Amino acid sequence: MRNTLLAGAFMLLASQTTLAQKFEGLAQTPPMGWNSWNKFACDINEELIRGIADEIVESGLRDAGYVYINLDDCWHGERDENGFITADSIRFPSGMGALADYIHSKGLKFGIYSDAGRKTCGGRPGSFGHEYQDALQYARWGVDYLKYDWCETENINPVGAYTLMRDAIREAGRPILFSMCEWGHSKPWEWAAETGHMWRTTGDIYNCFDCVDEHPGWKAFGVLQILDMQDGLRKYAGPGHWNDPDMLEVGNGQSENQDRAHFTMWSMLAAPLILGNDIRDMSSETKAILMNPDVIAIDQDSLGVQGLKYKSENGLEFWFKPLVNDEWAFCVLNRTQQPLEYEIDWQDFNLTDEEVSQRSTGFDQRVYAIRDLWKNKKEGTTKKNKKITIPGQDVVLYRLSPINK
Ligand code: GLA
């Protein structure tokens, strides 16, 4: 009798566990879109967001793949008398439902932000104790994406908190991409593939290429620092569940070389590509970086394998990313401020990705055609050595395609 009861209880539990899954199929390739935080922080309102939605279409960014328009912190008003969250009525007088409709009418998707604690990092109401209510409200408004932050969470268990919100989203019934932002503290890569579609691996990005921004109790990190913190994480990423090295700073004032390197490395990492600049006011250089279809294709490759750093040598790093159809992306990153010359002997790069894809470059067995993705130019084959110059804090990026003979 007791055993039967136990078995019954177990089956009930098991069936509940199967019910409460994240929505599948929302992030087969790394999510792409725009977010308000890096450029505008708390200074957001519906005019701005509508303008961004208009421009993401006009500029061609939407058609290049950037489809999410995500509000970050500070859109919130108070909770109403029943505990439901409302929008800040001064900044968003038409309300979130109307904003979502506008965004959807442009063929875009709508993202919103909350926090697992009592308050968001900007001091607005957090979702703690209101998870099911908030998920329901987002579903009613037509939200497609939720970034869920980690401020004010003392004594809260991250696995519990993120699982709770995942279950609440499932219960509310609208497929919402779940972007977890707990800064890598609890190693979400080890447990969150079932929970979210992406998880932040680090603290916040800081708008510089090579520096750390130190504050009492917290730090923000430059592009190279964040890149270095991705070591060892590639085996955890794949279709539906991505490492998130934070949003892009491209177009926010770094040099063109640095922006190109930043965008390239995020693509080599199969990172979510979430723009963080004012797209209403972009230079032609910024546009050309963010809309390079060949580089986006490296990020969005359907094999969904994060790139690997094969070796570092005198300020240069050599990265490979396996792609579908036996192709590879190959990237040389120059971390230094000086241009560096290098002669590529392809036979130095015979490698097998034993950790994830089991694919081999096999330069000793096959020849690849080389295409330079920033120059948009064919560059011969891997039959012979290749001399390159990599400008300071920049990259050379190739797509290697096997020549069938
Ligand atoms: C945290 C997150 C950032 C941003 C801010 C908003 O720092 O990591 O990405 O959302 O909060 O306050």
pLDDT tens digit string along 196-215? 999 999 999 999 999 999 99
Q: For the residues 13-35, what does the mean pLDDT come to?
A: 83
Residue 117: CB partners within 8 Å, gap ≥ 6? 126, 128, 149, 150, 151, 152, 153, 154, 156
State yes or no: pLDDT of 376 exceeds 80.
Answer: yes
* Mean pLDDT of the chain, nearest integer: 96
Q: How confident is the model at residue 15 (pLDDT cuts 50, 70, 90)?
A: very low
Q: List C-alpha distances in Å: 141 to 15, 87, 117, 147.
A: 29, 11, 22, 16
Residue 68, pLDDT above cutoff 70: yes
Residue 405 has pLDDT above 90, yes or no: no
Task: Name the residue of 38, 72, 76, 198 whose CB sits within 8 Å of the most ligand 1 atoms, as the mutation to test its pocket.
Answer: 72
Per DSSP, helices labelled H in 229-279 are 256-268
Neighbours of 76 (CB within 10 A): 25
The stretch 232-247 carries a mean pLDDT of 98
Give the domains, in start order, of the chain with CATH numbers.
Answer: 18-299 (3.20.20.70), 308-402 (2.60.40.1180)
pLDDT of residue 108: 99
Residue with the two structure tokens 């070591």: 231
The catalytic residues are: 149, 204
Nearest CA to ligand 1 atom 1: 121
Answer whether residue 404 shows pLDDT above 90. Answer: no
The pLDDT of residue 377 is above 50: yes
Q: How far apart are CA 276 and CA 289, in angstroms?
A: 14
Q: Which atom of ligand 1 is nearest to the CA of 121?
A: 12
Q: Please write the tens of the pLDDT for every residue from 152-187.
A: 999 999 999 999 999 999 999 999 999 999 999 999
pLDDT band at 241 (very low <50, low <70, confident <90, very high): very high
* Over residues 321-336, mean pLDDT: 98
Ligand 1 centroid distance, CA of 129 (Å): 20
The answer, yes or no, to whether residue 234 has pLDDT greater than 50, is yes
Substitution candidate for ligand 1 out of 35, 73, 151, 198 with most atoms within 8 A of CB: 73
**In angstroms, what is the span from residue 293 Cα to ligand 1's centroid?**
29
Residues in contact with ligand 1 by the CB-under-6-Å rule are: 37, 72-73, 120-122, 149, 181, 204
Among the atoms of ligand 1, which is closest to the Cα of residue 183? 8
**Do the beta carbons of residue 143 and residue 111 sit within 8 Å?**
yes
The pLDDT value given to residue 9: 53
Ligand 1: which residue has its CA nearest to atom 12? Answer: 121
